[in-house]
Amino acid sequence: MRVVVIGSGIVGAAAAYYLTGRGATVTVVESGYRGQATGAGAGIVCPWVDHAEDDAWYQLTREGARDYPRLVEELGEDIGYAKVGALLVTEEPAELEQVRALLHRRYPEAPEMGEITDVPTPSELFPPLSDDLSAILVPGAARVNGCAVREALLRAAVARGAQVRTGIATLTPGGEVLLRPVGSGLHGTTGRTGSPAGPANDNATAGRAGPAEPAGPAGPVEAAKPAGPAGDDTTAGPADGGPADGGPADGGPTAGPAGGGTSAGSTTGGGTSAGPSGPLRGDATTARSAGPEVPAGPTAGALPGGRAGAGATGGPARAERTSESAGAEVTGGPAGADVPFRGGEQVAGAGSTSWRQATPLETTDAPLTGTGAHSFPGEGVPLDADIVLVAAGAWTGEVCRPLGAKLPVFPRRGQILHVTLEGIDTAWWPIVLPRIGPYLLGFPDSRVVIGATIEDVGFSPRVTMGGLGEVIKAGLQVAPGLLGATVAETRVGLRPVYAPGSALIGRLTSRVVVATGLSSYGLTAGPFTGRIAAALALGEEPPIDLTPYAPAIA
């Protein structure tokens, strides 16, 4: 069977891996759009504390977490996966009782979470934390290197014969795939404050940088095969220039303004610098201080209520979200308002028994960017496929629009910060999950990740002063010991959110399968979702009931 996978993020890479393992002939199409979510995810795997009121979401994330140890063993390489545990921290010990009850209720069906224990002094496990916090420890929680996972999956798929091609994939009304070169026929947006749209290099740096290099595929590539008739790049083989373990190359990332130097996520002299997320190509977008805002692609459809793209936010880094099961538009208050933002991607609200699940905030009006669709001259080059699997993240709605399917998938921007503590071993520090506020987690190389903002601003994959300021301010409130840490890099990603509720996994037509909408749980459930999508593409029974995730086609 010939399968074209549109999208090479963690879901598309996993789908390609499982499809080739079943003998399918697979072509992965990578667009090169900026803002893809995989590389900008923190890598937290701790599903048991969220979605207390949403069994479908919880099942998907729980099974995704449960599947990781098997996948790690199967891949046989370091993908940054480690069970470091998670500290649920708060200044009010009484706030821990609800989540403690939730965890005890879920433990019989999920013993992999481990025995929950009290931690009177969390700073003994995560030294920069405030001394005013109390915590409980979930020992089964893990962190993972999202880019390393994606690249390992793609390497394995390529080793089995898959091809990775760079280009813009569009569908015909009949579900055939047309491939166009990156940069062909891309027009400006129709949003209120948009600027020219189209793919751009994701290797933006955390300081000032020179001209961006051409965007390449997000997957691991070594030697390019002869270009096809569309002028695309066909790649095969493992990554060249990036370390296999996802650690930094050529001395690691630089910090702050670099005067032409690069930070993790950019390339210099063929070497790829990276932190815990591994070699950064198409998916990890870091901050760029120069040049106009470049929306990351077409609109992803209209939301309920007639608004195109995503819900507007009322200021940088101020957007909060509803519970994903509610599927409502969410925005924040005006910039500078004291609106907490979440770490897991959900902030707890009144009446919620989840640790970090949100309640709605009032909608305010603010500019959207990148809300117009692309138009493409010419016919494009057809790719032979019996089945098409669309795993294009926030761009999925636009990819599927020619089918007549109006999928309300929209982008939610998240900005995160990476800092380093020179000479400190942070590799086994636990994940820190406050009820309200930023998450923190340690990685090797003395690195700590802090995030993330939650912003419904359309296709605008850029780091902002307001967003970065909020991450720093809130992070220091939880962990004042990070005051002297070195800023290594910032990253930003557009998380795909499916407005009706939980994830979007299912068949759109007899030849098109869709898998997206994992929001901030992409690194938890992404590989498992790719496995589900591969089963659907092959006509096999998926490992779980997909009724709650089926497309609500308008």
| Rg of the chain in Å (alpha carbons) | 21
pLDDT at residue 31 in the model:
87
How does pLDDT run across 233-267, given as a tens digit for each residue?
Answer: 444 333 333 333 333 333 333 333 333 333 333 33
* Residue 363: pLDDT band with limits 50, 70, 90: very low
> Where are the extended beta strands (E) located within 343-500?
381-383, 387-390, 409-420, 431-434, 439-443, 447-451, 486-498
Report the Cα–Cα distance between both ends of the chain, in Å, rounded: 30
> DSSP secondary structure string, 88-99?
EEES-GGGHHHH
**Bond before 452 cis per omega within 30 degrees:** yes
Tokens 């890598």 map to which residue? 43
Residue 548 structure tokens: 């709650």
Please tell me the number of Cα atoms within 13 Å of 34 on its side-chain side: 34
Average pLDDT over residues 198-205: 33
Total count of residues recorded for the chain? 554
Task: Give the DSSP H/E element, type plus range, for residue 163.
Answer: strand 163-166
CA 326 to CA 433: how far, in whole Å? 23
- Whether 286 shows a pLDDT value over 60: the answer reads no
**Cβ neighbours for 438, distance < 8 A, ≥ 6 positions apart:** 341, 343, 450, 451, 452, 471, 474, 475, 478
One-letter amino acid for residue 538 of the chain = L
Exposure letters 107-136 (e unless 16+ CB within 10 A, then b): eeebebbbebeebeebbebbebbeeebbbb
DSSP state of 306: S
Among 290-304, 326-340, 502-516, the range scoring the smallest mean pLDDT is 326-340
DSSP H stretches of helix in 328-464: 396-400
Is residue 313 within 8 A of residue 362, CB to CB? The reply is no
Q: Is the pLDDT of residue 21 over 70?
A: yes
Query: Considering only 198-207, 388-397, 523-532, which range has the smallest mean pLDDT?
Result: 198-207
Of 456, 34, 31, 523, the closest CA to residue 265 belongs to 34
Q: What is the mean pLDDT of the chain?
A: 74
Contact 503, 327 (CB under 8 A): no
Apex 425 CA angle, 420 and 427, nearest 5: 90
Give the C-alpha separation, 154 to 159, whole Å: 8
Q: How far apart are CA 420 and CA 482, in angstroms?
A: 9
177-180 and 381-383 strand pairing = antiparallel
Residue 367 has pLDDT above 70, yes or no: no
Q: Within the chain, how many helices (H) and strands (E) appear?
A: 7, 25
pTM: 0.73
Query: What residues pair up with 225 in beta bridges, in sequence order?
Result: 234
- Segments of 409-485 assigned E as strands: 409-420, 431-434, 439-443, 447-451
pLDDT tens figures, 369-381: 444 345 455 568 9
State the Cα–Cα distance between residues 434 and 17, nearest whole angstrom.
35
Question: Look-up: residue for tokens 């015909």?
Answer: 172
Residue indicated by tokens 């199967």 = 74
Three-class secondary structure assignment of 487-515: EEEEEEEEEEEECCCCCEEEECCCCEEEE
**pLDDT interval class at 224 (50, 70, 90):** very low
Distances (CA, A) of 69 to 45, 137, 282: 12, 20, 26
Q: Is the per-residue pLDDT at 271 higher than 60?
A: no
The CA distance from 66 to 47, in Å, is: 10
Contact criterion met (CB below 8 Å) for 185 and 199: no
Backbone region of residue 120 per phi and psi (left: phi > 0; alpha: psi in -120 to 50; beta: other values): alpha
Q: Which helix (H) or strand (E) holds 243?
A: none
Asked whether the beta carbons of 417 and 468 are under 8 A apart, the reply is yes
In angstroms, rounded to a whole number, what is the distance separating the alpha carbons of residues 505 and 398?
16
- pLDDT reading at 167 higher than 60: yes
**In the chain, what are the domains?**
2-182+377-538 (3.50.50.60)
- For the CA atoms of 23, 24, 25, 28, what is the dihedral angle to 10 degrees? -120
Q: What is the pLDDT of residue 554?
A: 52
Q: Between these two residues, 338 and 79, which has the higher pLDDT value?
A: 79
- Residue 264's pLDDT is 33
